[in-house]
Amino acid sequence: MGFGASIAYGEHNENTPVPETIPPPAATDDDPVRALAERLKAKYGGRITGQRVLPAREGSYAPFPEELDGRVRAALEARGVTALYSHQRAAWDRVRAGGHAVVVTPTASGKTLCYNLPVLHDVLGTGAKALYLFPTKALSQDQVAELAELNEAGDLGVRAHTFDGDTPGDARKAVRSRGDIVVSNPDMLHQGVLPHHTKWAQFFESLRYVVIDETHTYRGVFGSHMANVIRRLRRVCRFYGADPVFILSSATIANPAELAEQLVGEPVSAITESGAPAGEKHLLLWNPPVVNPDLGLRASARSQVTRIVRTAMRTGLKSILFARSRLMVEVLTKYLKDVFDTDPRQPQRVAAYRGGYLPTERRATEKRLREGDLGCVVATSALELGVDIGALDVCVLNGYPGTIAGTLQRLGRAGRRSRAALGVVVASSLPLDQYVVRNPDFFFGGSPEHARIDPDQLLILLDHVRCAAFELPFREGESFGGEDLEALLDYLEEEGLLHREGERWHWTADSYPANAVSLRSIAEGNFVVVDITDGGRTIVAEVDYASAPMTIYEGAIYMIQAQPYQVEQLDWEGRKAYVRATRADYYTDAIDYIRLKILDAFERAGQGSGEAANGEVHLVRRIAGYKKIRYYTHENVGFGDISLPDQEMHTTAVWWQLPGGGLEAAFGSRQEALDGFLGAAYAVHHVAALRAMCEPGDLGRAVGDGDAEWFAIVGAAGRGQIKHFDGSDGDPEAQGRFVPALFLYDNYPGGVGLSAPLFDQRQAVVTQARELVAACDCAYGCPACVGPILASDAERGFSPKGAAARVLELLGGAE
C-alpha cells in the first residue's frame, strides 16, 4: 500500500459518524494549517526534499442493523450518531456471522464502535461477557470512559470495569463476579487472571467476545509472548465451554490479517476500507541544512523541529512533537518552555509526555490536551497509540521513527474531520533518516512494514507451556503451538516441574511460573524516583528496570517536565533513586560498552575475503560512565564514572569476520582497520534495519574479537579504541590477536528471529552498506554513512570513510 492509498490521521475517540448532506468543506486559502505549510515551503524550500497533499475525503455510510438492540440504538442517537460508517457495518456483519475480524482503518475512523456495537448488543440481549485488552492502562481508562458515556446516554446498565494492577483488592471480586465488560491488559491477563481462572469461572463460562486493540503493537518479542497468552486464554475458555469471537483493531501495517491469525490461531478477516470522512492532509520531508561540508555535518534536527513548532504555536495551532528518547523529550521541552513558558504566573503552554511520569501527571496532560489548554506536547511513542488527546493541527517528528508504519501512526495524531492537518518528518543525520529524505519515493510509495512475531520461539514457548501447565493439566495428544509439545512436557518433567500420571501431565512444583515471565522481556521491579529537595521525600516518577542504568545513575541529571534533578543516591537493591532539584545548565548521557562471546555458530558461509555466520552469543553490557552535555551548544563539559551491575543476555546474532592476515595486507595499520570496522558496523546496522523492516533499536551492533577478550568503541577523539572488560585500554597496534568481527544481534533475550533472515541476506546487506558509504557526499565520513568523525584524514593519516569502504569490500560488498 502506497502513501496515497491510506494514512492514519486524526484523533482516536471520534466515534460519532454524522451523515453530512454536503461534502466536508475543503481547506480555504486562509486555512491556518495550509497557510503554515505554504509559509514553510516558501521560506525553507531548500530543506524540503519531498511533499504530498492528500485531498479531503467524503464519508461512506450505512444504516444501523435492523436487529440491533433498541437500547443501544437509542444511546447512539442520544450522542448524535444516526448511521454507521461502512467499515463499522462490515465489522458488525462479520462478527455477527461468528467470524473473527481485524479492523485496519485510519485514526479517527471510529474503530471503537466496531467492537462496542456487537458487544453491547449481546451483553444486553443474552448476558454475554466481554474481555477488552489494551497494551496500556491509559487506553483501558479511555475505553471505560467511552463505555460510561454510552451507558449514561442510553441508561444501559452495562457494567464495565478495569482490572489491572491499580484495581483495589476489595474491588477485584466485584469485577470478577459482576463485570459485563472487563477492560484489562496482556500483563494482567497473563499474571493476574489466567493463573487464577477458577475465581473467574462465571466470567469465562459466558465469555463471548475478546477485543484486542492496537494490534500492531504486538510485534517482535511482545507479540510472540502475546500469541502464547492467547493460546492459554483459549485453552482456559475451552475448559469452561466457551469459544469467544475475537475482534481486533490496528493501525496501518502490511499484514494485518496474518498478524491477527498468528495471535488468535484461527482465520481472521481484515476490514481495511474506511468509510470515515477526512480533511486535507499535508506532509513534508525536511532535511536540515549542511553546516560543515567537509565533515558532512548538518544542523541538528533539534534546531529544526523547535523552529517549526515555534512557528506553529505563534499562529495559534496545536502541535505534537515526537522524539525518539525520553531524554530528548525533556531537552526539546526545555527549549520550547524557554520561549513560551517563561512566566510561572501564566498557564503553561508546553508539556512533556513520556513513560516514567506518574499516572496522575499523564492523565492531567491528556485532559489539558483534550480541553485545548496546551499549545504543544512533546512526547515519545507513548502518545502514538490511541489515547484520546483531542484535536491537534500539526505533528512534527524529530527523526524518522525507523518504519513507515511507525511514522504513519505518529502522523495520525494530527488532523480534524474537515480541517487540514500538517505533518513534518525532520531527518537526523542517521543513515536511515538520510536515506528516507533523500529518496522520498521510498516513503511515499512504499508499503508499511510487516509486523513479525515468532510464537514458537523455543524460550518463549517453553515459558508459556510452564504457565499453561500450572493453569490446567496437559492431556496426551493436546497441541500448544507448532513445536513437539510432548517433548517439552517430558523436559519439564525431568526438571521436576511436572508429573505424568497416565495421559496427563500435572504441575507439581511450588513455584508460580507466570510471575517469572515478563511479556516485554524486562526484569521485574520498577525504580521509584524520590525527590528529597528541602528535606522532603516525595515520589515524583517511575523508571523501568531496563532504563534505570542509563537514566538514574548517581550524578545523572533526571528531568521531569524539563525541570532538572540531580541523582544523589541510587539504591539498586531497594529500587529507589533519590534526587534533588538543581539548576544545572547541562544534561547527562550514559556511555555503555558491549562485549560479545560466540557460543555456537548455527550456519557459516564464506563471503568475500572472510566469512559470515549466524548463531548464539552471550552479551554483557556495562554502563561505564556518562557525559555532561551543555544545553544549546551540545558540547561535552565533563565526564563521570558509573558503577552498576553488568547486564547479561543470551541472544542470536549474525556476524562477519576477516582473518588477521587479510587485514595486514589491506590496511596500513591496525588503527585504520579498527576505524574501518567501526564505520562499517555503523553502516551495516542501519542497512540491516531497513532490510529487516524493523526499528534500529531492535538490532544491536558491536565490534570485537568474538572471544570476549576485547571489544571496540569510538573514543572521545572520534577514533576507534580497543577496550578490555576490566576497563583498561588496549593498543590496537600492540594487540596480540587481532581478528575483529562485526556483530548484529537481536536486542531481546533469546532472539526474536531477526538474525537468521539477515544471514540469508548477508551479501545484499554488505553490498547496500558499501553503496551507502560510496554515495555519501562527505569527504572523510559523517553521521549519514560511517558515524560521527571528529578528525580529518590528514590528521589520522587515512580516511575513516575509505577504511570503512575497504572493510565492506573485503567482507564481500560488490560494486
Q: What is the pLDDT of residues 488-501, one digit of tens each?
A: 999 999 999 999 99
Name which of 598, 711, 581 is nearest 652 in CA terms.
Answer: 598
If one counts every other C-beta atom within 10 angstroms of the C-beta of residue 681, the result is 25
Q: Give the 3-state secondary structure of residue 58.
A: coil
Q: What share of the chain is helix, strand, coil (3-state, %, to 5)?
A: 35, 25, 40
Q: Give the 3-state secondary structure of residue 286.
A: strand
Q: What average pLDDT does the chain have?
A: 87
Dihedral (CA of 716, 721, 727, 729) sign: negative
Which residues lie below 8 Å from residue 231, measured CB to CB, with a gap of 6+? 265, 455, 464, 468, 480, 481
Check residue 814 and give its pLDDT.
Answer: 61
Check residue 725 and give its pLDDT.
Answer: 64
Check residue 69 and give its pLDDT.
Answer: 94
Say which amino acid occupies 376. C
Check residue 45 and give its pLDDT.
Answer: 93
Q: What is the spatial distance between Cα 105 and Cα 798, in angstroms, rounded to a whole number?
A: 53
Whole-number percent of the chain with pLDDT over 70 = 91
Q: What is the pTM of this model?
A: 0.80
Q: What is the spatial distance between Cα 502 and Cα 595, in angstroms, rounded to a whole number?
A: 48
Q: Give the 3-state secondary structure of residue 728.
A: coil
Which residues lie below 8 Å from residue 114, measured CB to CB, with a gap of 6+? 87, 88, 91, 92, 101, 103, 247, 249, 271
Name which of 678, 710, 702 is nearest 801 in CA terms.
Answer: 678
Check residue 13 and give its pLDDT.
Answer: 35
- To 5 degrees, how large is the angle CA 136–CA 141–CA 143? 100
Q: Give the 3-state secondary structure of residue 605.
A: strand
What is the enclosing helix (H) or strand (E) of 717?
Answer: none
Residue 226, pLDDT above cutoff 60: yes
Residue 202, pLDDT above cutoff 70: yes
DSSP class of 278: B
Check residue 292 and give its pLDDT.
Answer: 81
Say which amino acid occupies 279. G
Confidence of residue 6 (pLDDT cuts 50, 70, 90): very low
Which residues lie below 8 Å from residue 700, measured CB to CB, with a gap of 6+? 594, 619, 743, 744, 745, 746, 747
Residue 240, pLDDT above cutoff 80: yes
Q: What is the spatial distance between Cα 640 and Cα 294, in angstroms, rounded to a whole number?
A: 32
Higher pLDDT, 566 or 278: 566
Residue 605, pLDDT above cutoff 80: yes
Name which of 360, 337, 324 is nearest 542 in CA terms.
Answer: 360
Check residue 744 and give its pLDDT.
Answer: 95
Least confident of 184-198, 407-421, 603-617: 407-421
Confidence of residue 63 (pLDDT cuts 50, 70, 90): very high
Query: How far does CA 253 lie from the centroid of its chain?
Result: 14
Task: Give the 3-state secondary structure of 538-562.
Answer: EEEEEECCCCHHHHCCCCCEEEECC
Torsion-angle region of 354 (φ positive above 0: left; ψ -120 to 50: alpha; else: beta): beta
Task: Write out the DSSP string of 388-424.
Answer: -----SEEEEES--SSHHHHHHHHTTS--SSS-EEEE
- What are the phi and psi torsion angles at 575 (to 5°)? 60, 45
Please state the rounded mean pLDDT for residues 674-679: 92
- What are the phi and psi torsion angles at 347 (to 5°)? -60, 140
Higher pLDDT, 272 or 459: 272
If one counts every other C-beta atom within 10 angstroms of the C-beta of residue 342, the result is 8
Least confident of 175-184, 347-356, 774-783: 774-783
Strand residue runs (E) in 152-226 = 160-162, 181-184, 207-212
Residue 277, pLDDT above cutoff 90: no
Q: What is the spatial distance between Cα 471 and Cα 189, in angstroms, rounded to a whole number?
A: 12
Check residue 239 and give its pLDDT.
Answer: 97
Residue-wise pLDDT tens digits, 697-749: 889 999 988 787 888 887 766 677 787 766 666 666 655 668 889 999 988 77
Q: What is the spatial distance between Cα 115 and Cα 794, in angstroms, rounded to a whole number?
A: 65
Task: Write out the DSSP string of 229-258.
Answer: HHHHHHHHHHHTT--PEEEEEESS-S-HHH
Q: What is the spatial distance between Cα 433 and Cα 551, in angstroms, rounded to a whole number?
A: 25
The dihedral formed by the CA atoms of 279, 280, 281 and 282, expressed in degrees to the nearest 10: -150
Higher pLDDT, 699 or 783: 699
Which segments of 155-214 does DSSP mark as H helices, in order? 169-178, 186-188, 201-205
Least confident of 412-426, 488-502, 705-719, 789-803: 789-803
Q: What is the spatial distance between Cα 11 and Cα 813, in angstroms, rounded to a whole number?
A: 46
Check residue 426 and give its pLDDT.
Answer: 97
Confidence of residue 526 (pLDDT cuts 50, 70, 90): confident
Side-chain half-sphere CA neighbours of 749 within 13 A: 16
Check residue 732 and give its pLDDT.
Answer: 65
Look-up of cell digits 486464554 = 233
Residue-wise pLDDT tens digits, 144-190: 888 998 888 889 999 999 998 778 888 888 899 899 999 999 999 99
Strand residue runs (E) in 11-113 = 48-54, 61-62, 84-85, 100-104
Higher pLDDT, 377 or 56: 377
Please state the rounded mean pLDDT for residues 21-43: 71
Instruction: Say if CB 705 and CB 737 are below 8 A apart.
Output: yes
Cell, residue 175:
469485577
Confidence of residue 27 (pLDDT cuts 50, 70, 90): very low
Instruction: Say if CB 512 and CB 458 are below 8 A apart.
Output: no
Please state the rounded mean pLDDT for residues 347-363: 89
Please state the rounded mean pLDDT for residues 793-800: 73
Query: How far does CA 130 lie from the centroid of its chain?
Result: 27
Please state the rounded mean pLDDT for residues 124-152: 88
Please state the rounded mean pLDDT for residues 250-257: 85
Instruction: Say if CB 352 and CB 558 are below 8 A apart.
Output: no
- What are the phi and psi torsion angles at 623 (to 5°)? -90, 105
Residue 448, pLDDT above cutoff 80: no
Q: What is the spatial distance between Cα 798 and Cα 802, in angstroms, rounded to a whole number?
A: 8
Higher pLDDT, 781 or 493: 493
Whole-number percent of the chain with pLDDT over 90 = 52
Which residues lie below 8 Å from residue 704, measured CB to CB, with a gap of 6+? 594, 595, 596, 710, 711, 712, 740, 741, 743
Residue 17, pLDDT above cutoff 50: no
- To 5 degrees, how large is the angle CA 663–CA 665–CA 666? 65
Cell, residue 568:
544523589
Check residue 344 and give its pLDDT.
Answer: 87
Q: Angle formed by the axes of helices 485-494 and 458-471, to 10°?
A: 70
- What are the phi and psi torsion angles at 499 (to 5°)? -130, 125
Residue 68, pLDDT above cutoff 70: yes
Q: What is the spatial distance between Cα 640 and Cα 629, in angstroms, rounded to a whole number?
A: 12
Instruction: Say if CB 402 and CB 375 are below 8 A apart.
Output: no
Check residue 795 and give its pLDDT.
Answer: 65
Beta-ladder partners of 527: 543
Residue 107, pLDDT above cutoff 80: no
Q: What is the spatial distance between Cα 422 and Cα 20, in angstroms, rounded to a whole number?
A: 24
Please state the rounded mean pLDDT for residues 649-669: 85
Check residue 726 and give its pLDDT.
Answer: 63
Which residues lie below 8 Å from residue 736, measured CB to CB, with a gap of 6+? none
Instruction: Quickly name the fold that domain 61-271 has.
Output: Rossmann fold (3.40.50)
Q: What is the spatial distance between Cα 66 and Cα 235, in angstroms, rounded to a whole number?
A: 35
Check residue 317 and give its pLDDT.
Answer: 94
Least confident of 187-196, 519-528, 751-760: 519-528
Check residue 29 and give its pLDDT.
Answer: 52
Which segments of 439-555 does DSSP mark as H helices, in order? 440-445, 458-471, 485-494, 548-551
Check residue 12 and give its pLDDT.
Answer: 33
- To 5 degrees, how large is the angle CA 371–CA 377–CA 382? 105
Say which amino acid occupies 165. G
In 235-274, which positions are buried (b, 16+ CB within 10 angstroms) versus exposed (e)? bbbeebebebbbbbbbbbbbbbbbbbbbbbbeebbbbbeb
Under CATH, which architecture does the 32-55+285-445 domain have?
3-Layer(aba) Sandwich (3.40)
Say which amino acid occupies 437. V
Higher pLDDT, 320 or 135: 320
